[in-house]
Every structure is written in structure tokens, then in C-alpha cells.
Amino acid sequence: HSSTQVELTAAFNLQCVGHVRPEAKGGPKESFATRVEFLNEWLPWHSQSVDRGDIPTLKVLLKWIANGQHQTASLLVSPWMAYGCSIGARFKTKDGYGTVSKIREDDTCDMRYDNADGKTVAFEPLLENATRVARAEYKANTKLMLLHEGRCVDALVLKYAGFQHGSRHRLRMSGLQAGGESEQDIDLNESNHCKLTLFPSCARYEEARGLYCTKVLEKHATVRDQATGQTLSIQYQHAFLLKDDEQPPPSEPP
């Protein structure tokens, strides 16, 4: 019931985060929660890990004087947590990878999804909406293996577009289905490329991958039937997974 405004401070760094205003005189009685007012501004948060789905908490201190005595109290509140980001920041949402292209006055963002039509979508950088991802940045003449139109092709970096454009690079691609080479601006992410280090080209990688798959198939081509003791060929075996309320499929003729 203090007649003066009481400041709210964060316990971990003593920064002011709001205040408790006194009750209005002559009006209806107000609850304590109604008189608690937090600042409408972004404040830095101390380093800590917040897992997806967890509710972050912040200890807030109140100090005031009543009847000549110093009084203290503490509140446990759940702040609105968001990523601090700037133009060029990279995120992954349920719809894919994207780059922040604009910060709005209400702290939401415009985000452009990778290799889309260039249109932007509204995006709130909250922990439950997205996860941060690294920004790819390569020097000119770096060799990449790029997943383009459903197949891997060789790509040579010509130029990095700059951090404002996220992970966009100018690439010269070869080994396309249409034949020849093509230069395009491509948004690189964790799912569509890798740096060619162990292999000189995509063709050599595919050759090694095919050889490995052949060896695996040869090694695991048969399985021993524990019931009969016979060795059976994998290619003729079928596994059926049924729920309790499902009926097995009709038997196929041998």
C-alpha cells in the first residue's frame, strides 16, 4: 500500500525492468497484479540454455520503505523471450530455412525463404517459432556439391552476396540435366550443399557412394531364419507391421 512508485529490478544484473505504481486514490480497488507494469523495451538476457518448450523464468526484486522500515520482496516472472537478430540473420522454421530481410517497428521481422520466389513473410523471432542456424560464407573458387532440382551437381563459388543476404552466393553449376553450365544466385543451407573436400567432383562422390552401397548389399544379402535354421535371401523377405485392430494382408502366392 505504498503511496510511492516501487521499482522492479532483475536479480541477476539489477537492471530496471518496470515498476509497481501506487493505487489510484478515490477509484475502485486495484489488485497488485494490475499495478505491476513492465517496460515495453528489449533488455539483454544473461547467458543460459532454454530448451524448446521450457518456460524461462526471471527473478525480480522489489524494495520499498514502509513505516520507516526497509522492505523487500521477490517475484518470479516469465519474460517474453525472443532472439536478438538483425538483417541477414538465419533461422529454420517448420517451413524451411530463411533470412531476415527487415526489422519492423513492432519487433517482428520480414523473412525471405531460401530459393523461393523472393516474397517475404511476417516472422516473429520467438524461441517456439524457429531455431537459429549458421550462415554459410565461402570464398571465390570454393568447390561445392549442390543439391539442385533433385540431383547433386558440381558448383563453383563466384561471389558471396554479403551478410545482409544471409547465405546467398553466386554459383557456376555444371553437370545439369540440360547440359552445359549455368550461373545462378543460390541460398545455401544445411540441407542443400556441402563443401567438396574428400572428393574432387560429384561424379567421384557418386562413384564411391555406389561402391559402398554395393558392398553393404553384398554383406547383408542374406539372413538366418532362427526358426528353421535356413539362410534366406533378403530380397524375398517381407516384414508386416500391424496394429492390434488391423487385419493381416492376404497371403501372396509363392
pLDDT digits (tens, 9 = 90+) for 169-214: 999 998 776 667 889 999 999 999 999 999 999 999 999 999 999 9
Residue 58: the pLDDT is 81
Query: Per-residue pLDDT for 246 more than 50?
Result: yes
Biggest CA pair distance of the chain: 95
Quote the mean pLDDT of the chain.
86
Query: Per-residue pLDDT for 233 more than 80?
Result: yes
Q: Say which DSSP state 47 is in.
A: S
Average pLDDT over residues 146-161: 94
pLDDT digits (tens, 9 = 90+) for 119-152: 899 999 988 889 999 999 999 999 999 999 888 9
Confidence band (pLDDT; 50, 70, 90) for 254? very low
**Three-state SS at 18:** strand
Residue 191: the pLDDT is 95
pTM: 0.65
| Domain range list for the chain | 6-77, 90-132, 143-204
